[in-house]
């Protein structure tokens, strides 16, 4: 018996339509059912596509939002099992399921052709409610369906809600109006396997009040919530029946202090991009928030019909509800602020799966995900959400091993190893930080197939595919796609050599080591020259060679000095793209140039993170000049750099080390920082680490090590000491 039959029994997929083109509305399904006797426990299994909201006896059974998450629906769809014991009563009960479209029935035309996907279908659901192991309600032809108040809902545009069309609850013994409530149809499954969702779902994590507002015209006003977020708004209104409230969401203002969405609306061919609407009924005061949509925004432009009054408005921050597990800060206020912006961008770009931006695309770009992996794992308990994303990555993988740049959307197939390596890097980083080998085991064979694909496009172990340091300040100064593609190809081979045995394939370890060695030699032959040179001595090329151990050991010192000199010659400006944004500060700090790295991260000239701060950034931008999206996470590694280099803490790999069972602390040698303090909830317990430098140049630290942990502590210029569980006071 397969999983679907075990969980859903006699349930059938049902829909509003049968083989018809779907609309934008959200159909509402209802059914009466009877609980004949007292019971101890009731559970409801449901998969509703694209999104579902489940109510029993007019009560929502969960605070989860946007369930299930976006998957490649023709390969995999997720179901949820909710404990509904408290929602049932002996006797008559009423179940209600409302279905949203999400990516399953995406209708807005865009340049990605997302409205034309093979999986697209009308919303449908499968349900089985069990009381004390006995099925008492299933999705079957006996349900009824109606058009509810949600007239439109699309992931690309927004939600249109007509409160006059709210469906009243069914009363006891009432016969539903046949003009409203229609028959349902049995329909086909989405085509893939059903798997139980295990990653934390989306929820409201914060609520924000407007920081200021201003009138644009009679009935039209802008509200500023102070920071750039992903989410939607809840409003309280009153006014005449049929009066309309229109909300338009954006992150940027025009020269007349009106909303300017020109840069983020360019990919969606729909004038209603980032719009919500609410039409009033006859209630005195009405409270409303969308059910099936979210936006990226700082500002909301509200337009009211005559007579309509907006009584309240609040922004609801929505993201996958993984827990925050750390807190860190240092004596440099700019680095602290950049780290804060990195975390906000990470949260804004994790609404069910990692994305590039929460407005223009909402696409799961793999390059953005792998570049932000350490940022995520240092700050959040996000490993299960990454695992779910990796499930989709495998579902999208072609037979030749290639994966797309966008997952689970399956588009942009030639972005190369910097993007594709997410399939190998994410399981490795999960293992480093948590000690959990599950993701390694699940993805190892898929990683092998990906490496076979890389080998098929390599020429003498050199890969040339990808844009080469994407979003560089000056494309004329950017490295070629050969440099970072080959560097990441080698990095993937190194990772697989470390994870093969853990995945159960110890015989592969030497194969990967040999491949990494061959790629390393090819890289040196192609790009490196005596005297510490690499490629055209672009700072990203030098940094990648150092970070991924591609330089000859005898050349490392000269290459690191060359990198430092090149950076200083350019006044520590961020003259790199997303590959360099991660590699350059790390390579400098790892090779004795901590203060230069810190200056790169904090200097305030263009291009640079500090320049963003001076120009009002509240999240990370897509490009250094701020001409495109203002909420991207791909430049977010400073939020991990704060831990690993200002704090000096590094997780290690190996069965005896991963998950912070054994880790290292190497405090920085610095004249620019005077303190660091951090608390990190590791799998072994909370690690507390703080250091400060007094006016005489003496460093003092306090370290609390949880049980079952060992720390290798190496002060600058000193010998490594081994510390174990307990509180330690240190001086160097």
Three-state DSSP class for residue 438? helix
Q: Please, how many CA atoms are within 13 Å of residue 193, restricted to the half-sphere of its CB?
A: 8
Q: What letter would DSSP give residue 554?
A: G
pLDDT at 43: 98
Lookup: tokens for 483: 């440099």
* Band of pLDDT at residue 21, cut at 50, 70 and 90: low
Residue 408: asked if its preceding bond is cis (omega within 30°), the reply is yes
* Rounded Cα gap, residues 320 and 422, in angstroms: 19
Find out whether 259 and 250 touch, Cβ atoms under 8 Å: yes
Assess contact for 48 and 123: CB atoms under 8 A.
Answer: yes
Query: What integer pLDDT is reported at residue 4 of this predicted model?
Result: 66
Query: Taking the alpha carbons of 283, 288, 290, 296 in that order, is the dihedral positive or negative?
Result: positive
Specify which residues 316 forms β-bridges with. 207, 232
For position 5, what pLDDT does the model report? 67
pLDDT tens readout for residues 297-337 = 999 999 999 999 999 999 999 999 999 999 999 999 999 99
Coil/strand/helix, residue 379? helix
Helix axes 594-602, 556-569, angle to 10 degrees: 30
Residue 430: pLDDT over 60:
yes
Chain-centre distance for alpha carbon 592: 33
Confidence tier at 594 by pLDDT (50, 70, 90): very high
Which pLDDT score, from 0 to 100, does residue 6 have? Answer: 87
* pLDDT of res. 95: 98
Question: In the chain, what are the domains?
Answer: 3-199 (2.60.120.260), 204-320 (2.60.120.260), 326-646 (1.50.10.10), 662-731 (2.60.420.10)
Q: Is the pLDDT of residue 1 over 50?
A: no
Q: Are 577 and 307 in contact (CB under 8 A)?
A: no
- For 621-643, the pLDDT digits (tens) are 999 999 999 999 999 999 999 99
Task: Enumerate residues 6+ apart whose C-beta is below 8 A from 331.
Answer: 673, 674, 675, 676
Helix crossing, 539-547 with 481-499: angle to 10°?
Answer: 10
Please give the structure tokens belonging to residue 484.
């970072």
Sole residue written with tokens 């921050």: 317
Cα 372 to Cα 647: distance, rounded to the nearest angstrom: 18
Q: Report the 10 Å Cβ neighbour count for 24.
A: 17
Cross-strand partners of 124: 15, 49
pLDDT of residue 173: 82
Nearby residues of 287 by Cβ (< 8 Å), 6 or more positions away:
234, 235, 236
Selection from 396, 390, 383 nearest residue 320 by Cα? 383
Percent residues over pLDDT 70 in the chain: 99
First to last CA, the chain: 64
**pLDDT tens digits for 691-713?**
999 999 999 999 999 999 999 99
């Amino acid at each position: 018996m397969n999983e679907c039959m075990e969980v859903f029994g006699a349930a059938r997929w049902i829909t509003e339509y049968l083989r018809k083109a779907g609309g934008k509305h959200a159909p509402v399904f209802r059914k009466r059912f009877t609980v004949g006797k007292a019971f101890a426990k009731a559970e409801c299994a449901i998969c509703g596509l694209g999104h579902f909201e489940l109510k029993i006896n007019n009560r929502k059974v969960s605070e989860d939002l946007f369930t299930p998450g976006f998957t490649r629906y023709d390969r995999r769809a997720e179901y949820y099992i909710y404990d509904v014991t408290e929602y049932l009563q002996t006797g008559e009960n009423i179940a209600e399921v409302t279905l949203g479209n999400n990516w399953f029935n995406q209708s807005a035309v865009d340049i990605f052709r997302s409205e034309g996907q093979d999986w697209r279908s009308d919303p449908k659901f499968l349900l089985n409610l069990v009381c004390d192991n006995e099925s008492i309600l299933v999705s079957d032809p006996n349900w009824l369906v109606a058009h509810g108040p949600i007239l439109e809902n699309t992931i690309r545009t927004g939600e249109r809600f007509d409160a006059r069309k709210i469906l009243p609850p069914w009363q006891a013994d009432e016969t539903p109006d046949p003009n409203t409530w229609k028959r349902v149809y049995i329909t086909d499954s989405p085509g893939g396997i059903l798997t139980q969702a295990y990653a934390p779902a989306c929820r409201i994590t914060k609520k924000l009040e407007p920081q200021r507002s201003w009138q644009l015209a009679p009935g039209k006003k802008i509200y500023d919530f102070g920071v750039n977020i992903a989410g939607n708004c809840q409003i309280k209104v009153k006014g005449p029946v049929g009066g309309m409230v229109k909300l338009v969401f954006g992150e940027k203002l025009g020269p007349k202090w009106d909303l300017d969405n020109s840069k983020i609306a360019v990919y969606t061919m729909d004038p209603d991009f980032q719009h919500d609407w609410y039409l009033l009924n006859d209630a005195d005061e009405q409270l409303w928030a969308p059910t099936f949509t979210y936006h990226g925004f700082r500002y909301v432009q509200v337009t009211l019909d005559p007579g309509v009054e907006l009584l309240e408005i609040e922004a609801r921050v929505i993201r996958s509800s993984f827990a925050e597990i750390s807190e860190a800060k240092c004596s440099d206020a700019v680095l602290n602020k950049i780290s804060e912006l990195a975390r906000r961008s990470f949260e804004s770009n994790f609404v069910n799966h990692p994305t590039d931006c929460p407005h223009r695309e909402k696409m799961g770009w793999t390059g953005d995900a792998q570049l932000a992996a350490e940022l995520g794992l240092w700050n959040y308990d996000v490993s299960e959400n990454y695992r779910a994303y990796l499930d989709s990555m495998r579902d999208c993988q072609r037979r030749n091993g290639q994966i797309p740049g966008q997952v689970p959307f399956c588009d942009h197939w030639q972005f190369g190893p910097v993007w594709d390596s997410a399939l190998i890097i994410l399981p490795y980083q999960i293992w480093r930080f948590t000690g959990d080998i599950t993701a390694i085991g699940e993805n190892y064979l898929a990683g092998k197939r990906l490496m076979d694909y890389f080998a098929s496009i390599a020429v003498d172990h050199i890969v040339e595919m990808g844009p080469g340091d994407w979003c560089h300040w000056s494309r004329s100064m950017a490295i070629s796609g050969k440099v970072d593609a080959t560097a990441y190809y080698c990095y993937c081979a190194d990772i697989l050599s470390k994870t093969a045995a853990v995945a159960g394939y110890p015989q592969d370890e030497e194969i990967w080591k040999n491949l990494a060695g061959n790629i390393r030699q090819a890289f040196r032959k192609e790009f490196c020259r005596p005297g510490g040179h690499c490629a055209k001595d672009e700072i990203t090329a030098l940094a990648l060679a150092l970070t991924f151990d591609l330089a000859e050991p005898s050349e490392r010192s000269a290459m690191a000095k060359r990198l430092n000199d090149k950076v200083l010659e350019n006044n520590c400006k961020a003259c790199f793209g997303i590959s360099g944004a991660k590699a350059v500060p790390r390579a400098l700090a790892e090779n004795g140039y901590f203060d230069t790295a810190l200056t790169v991260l904090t200097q305030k000239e263009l291009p640079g993170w500090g320049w963003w701060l001076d120009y009002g950034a509240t999240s990370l931008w897509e490009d250094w000049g701020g001409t495109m999206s203002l909420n991207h996470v791909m430049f977010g590694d400073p939020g991990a750099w704060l831990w690993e280099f200002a704090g000096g803490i590094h997780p290690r790999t190996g069965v005896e080390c991963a998950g912070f069972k054994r880790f290292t602390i190497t405090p920085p040698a610095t004249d620019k920082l005077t303190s660091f303090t951090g608390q990190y909830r590791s799998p072994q317990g909370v690690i507390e680490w703080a250091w400060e430098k007094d006016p005489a140049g003496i460093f003092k630290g306090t370290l609390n090590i949880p049980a079952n942990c060992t720390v290798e502590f190496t002060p600058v210029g000193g010998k490594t000491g081994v510390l174990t569980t307990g509180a330690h006071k240190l001086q160097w």
